[in-house]
């Protein structure tokens, strides 16, 4: 895989966007959210994501597409096993959490993803040419092999991968922002 260091300023903005997303999640969950890891990398083909992304075996993803000057996708991913826990925290449900997810649970996931997407788009969207209104969130359950290709545009892509933790709830959420490479950063990289 070709991995080049994205621009320093982009890294600073990605870190700031991740902080904002953490604060937004913290506000929704009434909890402290920590950033466990923030990775920036380039993918020279969508398939490379399978070897790059570290996610649980079975997961749920909520993905939004953005078609501005460039094409991009932002996804929120979590382990399937942890999803009932997240739903309960969002909705304020107490007691034993059923493994089965209902309509309101899925709805809460979609809105959470919508809000996280907003945090990233506000800061990184203009830099990447992603300034369109995001699509309605799409929720998918499956294995990473099954889902991975739906998380990135079908081009070379610049990716921001953030792992967010709610330690008190034993929850880990992964944000993946993938933007098509035909953008300013590509030009800057070529010039560097």
Q: CB 23 → other proteins: shortest distance, Å?
A: 9
Q: CB 130 → other proteins: shortest distance, Å?
A: 10
Rule CB under 8 A: which residues touch other proteins?
24, 27-28, 90-91, 103-104, 107-108, 110-111, 114-115, 117-119, 121-122, 125, 131, 133-134, 136
Q: CB 133 → other proteins: shortest distance, Å?
A: 6
In the complex with other proteins, which residue's Cβ is closer, 111 or 189? 111
Q: Are 65 and 134 in contact (CB under 8 A)?
A: yes
Q: CB 187 → other proteins: shortest distance, Å?
A: 23
| Residue 36: Cβ within 10 Å count | 13
In the complex with other proteins, which residue's Cβ is closer, 61 or 119? 119
Give the SS3 label for residue 171. strand
In the complex with other proteins, which residue's Cβ is closer, 37 or 104? 104
Task: List the beta strands (DSSP E) in 18-156.
Answer: 34-43, 58-67, 71-79, 138-143
In the complex with other proteins, which residue's Cβ is closer, 60 or 148? 60
Distance CA 6, CA 1 (A): 15
Q: CB 21 → other proteins: shortest distance, Å?
A: 11
Give the SS3 label for residue 7. coil
Half-sphere exposure of 145 (CA within 13 A, CB side): 1
In the complex with other proteins, which residue's Cβ is closer, 55 or 164? 164
45's CB contacts (< 8 A; 6+ apart) are 156
């Amino acid at each position: 895989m070709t991995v080049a260091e994205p621009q320093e300023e982009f890294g600073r903005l990605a870190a700031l966007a991740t902080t904002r997303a953490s604060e937004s999640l913290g506000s929704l969950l009434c909890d402290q959210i920590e950033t466990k890891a923030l990775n920036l990398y380039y993918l020279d083909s969508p398939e490379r994501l399978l070897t790059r992304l570290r996610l649980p075996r079975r997961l749920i993803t909520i993905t939004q597409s953005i078609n501005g000057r460039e094409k991009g996708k932002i996804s929120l991913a979590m382990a399937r096993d942890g999803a009932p826990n997240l739903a309960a925290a969002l909705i304020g449900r107490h007691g034993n959490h059923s493994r089965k997810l209902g309509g309101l649970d899925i709805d809460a996931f979609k809105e959470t993803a919508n809000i996280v997407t907003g945090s990233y788009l506000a800061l990184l969207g203009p830099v990447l040419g992603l300034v369109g209104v995001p699509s309605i969130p799409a929720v998918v359950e499956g294995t990473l092999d099954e889902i991975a290709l739906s998380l990135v545009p079908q081009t070379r892509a610049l990716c921001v991968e953030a792992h967010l933790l709610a330690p008190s709830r034993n929850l880990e959420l992964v944000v993946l922002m993938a933007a098509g490479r035909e953008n300013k950063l590509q030009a800057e990289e070529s010039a560097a």
